[in-house]
Amino acid sequence: MRNSRSRPVVLTGLATLLAAAWGVSSTAQPREPVYVGVRVCSECHSGPEAGHQFSTWRLTPHAKAFATLSMEESTEIARLSGIPEAPHTARVCLGCHATAADAEEWERDETFLIEDGIQCETCHGPGSEYMDEEVMRNRELAMERGLKMPSGSTCMVCHGPKGSHEAVLSGEPYDLEKALQTIAHPRPESPPVEASTRSSETQALLGSSQHRFTGVMSCTKCHSGPEMGFQFSKWRMGPHARAFAVLGTPTAREMAKRSGVDGDPQASYACLRCHATGAGHDAASFEVGFDLRDGVQCESCHGAGADYSPEAVMLDPPAATAAGLKKPGPEMCTECHEQGHAGAPFHYQAAVAKIAHPKSPVAVGAAEPVYKTPINLALTPDGSELWVACEASSSTVVVDTATHEVLTEIEVGGQPHDVSFQPDGRRAYVTNRLDDTLSVIDVETHGVVATVEVGDEPHGVLLDAPGELIYVLNSAQDSVSVIDAETLQETKRLTTSRVPWSLSLSPDGEKIFVTNTLSDFVPPRTPPMSEVTVIDAERGAIEDRFIVPGANLLQGVAWHPSGEFAIVTLNRTKNLVPMTRLLQGWTITNGIGIVWRDGRVDQVLLDQPDIAFPDAADITMTSDGRLALVTSSGSDRVAIVNLEKLLSMLGEASPEERERIIPNHLAKSTEFVEAFVKTGLSPRGITLSSDDKTAYVANTLDDTVTVIDLERLEAVQEIDLGGPDLISQTRWGEQLFHSADITFRRQFSCHSCHPDGHVDGITYDIEPDGIGTDPVDNRTLRGIFDTAPFKWSGLNPSLQRQCGPRLAVFFTRIEPFTPTELEALELYITTIPRPPNRHRALGAPLTEAQRLGKAVYERTHTNGGRLIPPNGRCINCHPGPLFTDRQQHNVGTQSPLDREDTFDTPHLTNIYDSAPYLHDGTAFSLEEIWTRFNTYDQHGVTNDLTKDQLNHLIEYLKTL
């Protein structure tokens, strides 16, 4: 038990010093096991009698894994992986570059230092319960207490091929056998006997130091991170940090012998004087925590630091000098290096340049240009200003509608999505989907006056007619926040369907229609059924839910001035027949739904036989109710719909035609579409001036607003919102992703099935292997880059393969992307970021339920004490940091429709936001994975779990 933990008897003076250092830290922790860190392991696992295991580790890349996150290459890899944080703080990066990076604070003993990179306990498990010598000498007992003996698959969790790394780093592909040789650390069966003589030789030759040594790990408390130029990491990657460790090598031993040093060089002052800071001084010369084995540390050049290291002293140069801070000079280096072993002359300047560690701040942010990416827009009630929510620049651009000049740009929250005004025009409201906030802006001053917390990933925002209530759609939480406009307090939260997107108030102010992007959950082999949620604006309550059958991706919505109906944009995805039906115009059709006030719904397509109308995104109507304008982000057009003709056509049709024929008719739109107007790239939001003369369209991917003259029905101007001129490769890839140019008759884009890189919530029949065979749930693209292979079958080894030939064969049915297009597309897809986890903020402690769930996730025994075989443990197939082993497994989920019984292991990052689950989307909730689809414990041993344990497990899964 932790309270009774006894550290091994140490044999050397160094170890005694360490024991003193860490002895004070062995106070009881309330929970176990905890990570103790490599330095505690080294108490027994160093020196010749232990085969210099500690030094062997210190010479491997594992020991500098954390430090390497300071490299420019790491920043680039993070960028390629869509990781918005700096690598040395990013959970995913740290997961493979540091031990226990994802552990809570209590799980790390005071002796544990994350800066030591990949340490013993990454492979062998947290050591607090098995580290005692008597336990370690009993392998069975040690393993009972958590000691793990890793296999090659343990290594592959991190060392499996990763596109992001391969794209940046040169070098040989990872060879497991070679790697295992590199890190081999056998313990000699017959240890040499000279060890016991070394302490007398190394200690006290120089007596006490005038100032005490504090050690590099003390210095690093201030001298790490980008703001200090990553000074610690630079040292750690340099030869000085390895200077002590190299003395443990056979080469060093041989060299020492040639120099007349007999025995262990790590115990010889003759060697240590140049290989370890502080060598030769007595024990009183060292602060607790100093570790001689850190080699040549800061204090070799800057002087023993205990007296000058306090920040107040360091900031006062004369005081620091008086307290022992030295200015390094050539003599300090030449003392050791002129007598070096290399034989080559020592060049001071070159050497100094090599170890240079200026404390000037290092930029770790993305080098990508900051685009605007306008998503939605709105006119002030007086029509004088056009406000444009720009997702990528986290700003709202204000345009003068008289001059079409940009007036100002207002910094708001992260990824603003929609903008709306109070009816009196005094305030504007902008939703920020990254931050889960609503920015409240004074229209006159253009200043943000308040920021209000709302639900997850807010999208649409709208005021009621009196301007008293603000409705905000929480797209990732399937809810509406209702906020008092005066107090800015949220008064209630209403339940929508899945991923509410946009909303519109009826002309009489009585009803609000809300579109939901994803279909309700439907049984297998059932078309999507999407919902328009109806809010009673007087009560602020859900009044009704209108179903739009066969449709999904309901996004834009606008009421007709008559108040008799509203129109929504939609897709009609034919996911139940193989996607290869594209040539018949029968894969994804695009159009609008007329949602009548009483709940009846008509659907018409805006596709035409020769060219489709992909990704209908938003809609507006003229105040006379004659025209509707609909954006197609996949084809860069606006459709001008003559509503009189449309309603006339519907009125003349039979009920049977309106229900079955017209919703799928590819030629009907020729009867009521007056014109298609070309816009900029990827038009999304659209709005109209109150005089019906001018329409404004937000072109998401070229940072412009198209101005359409409604009398001429043509675009008359493009307003430049001020984005960068340079189109980066990533931006180009984003444009390709959102363009339907790649598909036959431009029926759909990548975005059609992966709206904004995420999911459409649909299970597809893709391949022409029979109707309904091999159904596959759509998987998110957020943060997928290093999770290859792709597809549920795991057959596609790379994104380029997935998006290249495979896409052409099964989806687009025309010439595939060119190699350069593919590169750009791949780059974009890899940079689609994972949103911040909504169930556990970065670095936040786990809740009690999450903590208990983690124990279930990592458990090795059933509730009855039975050992769970490794392949029955959650963590075995879903190991961090990606939470997938990237292998295929049979988890007992094969259905009669599946030809194969093994499926790719999905990553679990933000798993809570991509329901349904399993390869065929049959599990509508995480619970169902185990309550309905794990009868024989093939998907982890879970049938012994109590209901509360399963709840805890799910709470933990949601934090990943």
Partner 1 sequence: MNLLKAARLTFVLTVIPMMGLAAEVDQAADRAPEVSDLDLPFVYTDWEQFTVEDGLPNDHVFAVEVDGPRVWIGTEDGLARLDKRTGEIRSWKEEDGLPWRVVSALAVHPDTGEVWLGMFGGGLARFSGGRFDHFHQLNSGLVNDVVYGVCVENENIWAATTAGASRYNTRTGEWTIYTEKNAPMEEIWNYGCSYADGKVYLGVWGSGVLEFDIETENWKDYLDPDGEMEIDLYRDDGIVHVITTGVSYVDKTLWVTTYFGASRYDGRHWRGYFKKDSGAPSDFHNAVQARSANEAWFSTDKGLAQVADFPTDTWVVYTTDHASNTGQAIITRGERVLETRTIPPNIPHNYVLWTEIDGDDLWVGTSKGLANAKGGGFFPGLRRASDQATTVEPEEQPTNRGGS
| Nearest distance from C-beta of residue 545 to partner 1, angstroms | 4
Q: Judged by CB, which is closer to partner 1: 266, or 477?
A: 477
Question: Under a CB-based contact definition with an 8 Å cutoff, are residues 51 and 245 in contact?
Answer: no
Q: Name which of 543 and 709 has its Cβ closer to partner 1.
A: 543
Q: How far is the CB of 928 from partner 1 (least distance, A)?
A: 5
> If 0-12 CB within 10 Å is exposed, 13-18 middle and 19+ buried, where does residue 113 land?
buried
Name residues whose C-beta falls within 8 Å of residue 312's C-beta, 6 or more positions apart in sequence: none
- Compare residues 479 and 787 and give the one whose CB is closer to partner 1: 479
CB of 650 to partner 1, least distance (A): 25
Min dist. Cβ of residue 268 to partner 1 (A): 60
Q: How far is the CB of 471 from partner 1 (least distance, A)?
A: 13
d(CA 888, CA 904): 4
Question: In angstroms, rounded to a whole number, what is the distance separating the alpha carbons of residues 547 and 557?
Answer: 15
Residue 874's contacts (CB-CB under 8 Å, 6 or more residues apart) are 856, 857, 858, 940, 953
Strands (E), 773-813: 776-777
**In angstroms, rounded to a whole number, what is the distance separating the alpha carbons of residues 796 and 788?**
8
* CA angle in degrees (0–180, nearest 5) for 353-355-358: 80
Provide the minimum distance between the beta carbon of 844 and partner 1 in the complex, in angstroms, as a whole number: 14
Nearest-approach distance from CB 865 to partner 1, in angstroms: 18
Nearest approach, Cβ of residue 467 and partner 1 (Å): 21
For residue 412 the two structure tokens come to 């708001």
- Amino acid found at 243: A
| 586 versus 924: smaller Cβ distance to partner 1 | 924
List the one residue out of 530, 505, 504 whose CA is nearest residue 516. 530
Nearer to partner 1, 259 or 925 (CB): 925
| 431 versus 635: smaller Cβ distance to partner 1 | 431
Closest-CA residue to 313 (of 222, 232, 321): 321
Shortest distance in whole angstroms from residue 127 CB to partner 1 = 30
First to last CA, the chain: 29
The C-alpha atoms of residue 463 and residue 229 are separated, in whole angstroms, by 48
Minimum Å gap between C-beta 703 and partner 1 is 36
- Nearer Cβ to partner 1, position 548 or 604? 548
The nearest distance, CB 838 to partner 1, in angstroms, is 8
Vertex 889: Cα angle to 885 and 894 (nearest 5): 140
Q: How far apart are CA 450 and CA 942, in angstroms?
A: 47
Residue ranges that bind partner 1, judged by CB under 8 A = 455, 477, 479, 491-495, 531, 533-534, 539, 541-545, 839, 849, 912, 924-925, 927-928, 931-932, 947-948, 950-951, 954-955, 958
Tokens of 348: 């001071």
DSSP state string for 713-772:
TEEEEEEE----S---HHHHHHHHHH-GGGSGGG---HHHHSGGGS----EE--SSSSTT
Q: Which residues of 148-178 are buried (b: 16+ CB within 10 A; e: fewer)?
A: beeeeebbbbbbbebbbbbbbeeeeebeeee
Residue 955's nearest CA partner among 918, 916, 927 is: 927
Question: With respect to partner 1, which residue has the nearer C-beta, 308 or 501?
Answer: 501
CB of 472 to partner 1, least distance (A): 14
Distance of closest approach, residue 849 Cβ to partner 1, in angstroms: 7
Question: Which bin fits 886, alpha (ψ -120 to 50), beta or left (φ > 0)?
Answer: left
Encode burial over 387-405: b for 16+ CB neighbours within 10 A, e otherwise: bbbbbbbbbbbbbebeebe
Q: In DSSP terms, which residues pair with 387 in a beta bridge? A: 378, 398
Nearest approach in angstroms of CB 463 to partner 1 is 19
Identify the burial level of 770 via C-beta atoms within 10 angstroms of its C-beta, where 0-12 means exposed, 13-18 middle and 19 or more buried: exposed
Please, which residue, 384 or 491, has the CB nearer to partner 1?
491
Q: Are 244 and 253 in contact (CB under 8 A)?
A: no
- Residue 516, SS3? strand
Nearer to partner 1, 385 or 436 (CB): 436
Phi, psi of 35, rounded to the nearest 5 degrees: -85, 130
Sheet holding 374-379, edge to edge: 374-379, 385-390, 395-400, 406-411
Q: Tally the C-alpha atoms within 13 A of residue 254's C-alpha that lie toward its C-beta.
A: 3
Q: Which is nearer to partner 1, 137 or 539 (CB)?
A: 539
**Distance, CA of 93 to CA of 77 (rounded, Å):** 9
Question: Do the Cβ atoms of 773 and 895 come closer than 8 Å?
Answer: no
DSSP lists the bridge partners of residue 695 as 688, 708
* DSSP structure class, residue 923: B
Nearer to partner 1, 332 or 542 (CB): 542
3-state secondary structure 144-170: HCCCCCCCHHHHHHHHCCCHHHHHHCC
Q: What is the DSSP letter of 108?
A: B
CB of 491 to partner 1, least distance (A): 7
**Residue among 116 and 478 whose Cβ is closer to partner 1:** 478
Per the DSSP assignment, residues forming a β-bridge with 558 are: 567
Q: How far is the CB of 277 from partner 1 (least distance, A)?
A: 51
Instruction: Compute the least distance from the CB of residue 526 to partner 1, in Å.
Output: 15
DSSP 479: E
Choice between 101 and 514, CB closer to partner 1: 514
Between 66 and 930, name the residue whose CB sits nearer to partner 1: 930
C-alpha distances in angstroms, 896 versus 462, 464, 489? Answer: 47, 51, 52
Cβ proximity to partner 1, 124 vs 840, nearer residue: 840
Tokens 């006290």 correspond to 204
Nearer to partner 1, 154 or 949 (CB): 949
Least distance in Å: CB of 450 to partner 1? Answer: 21
Q: Nearer to partner 1 by C-beta: 159 or 545?
A: 545
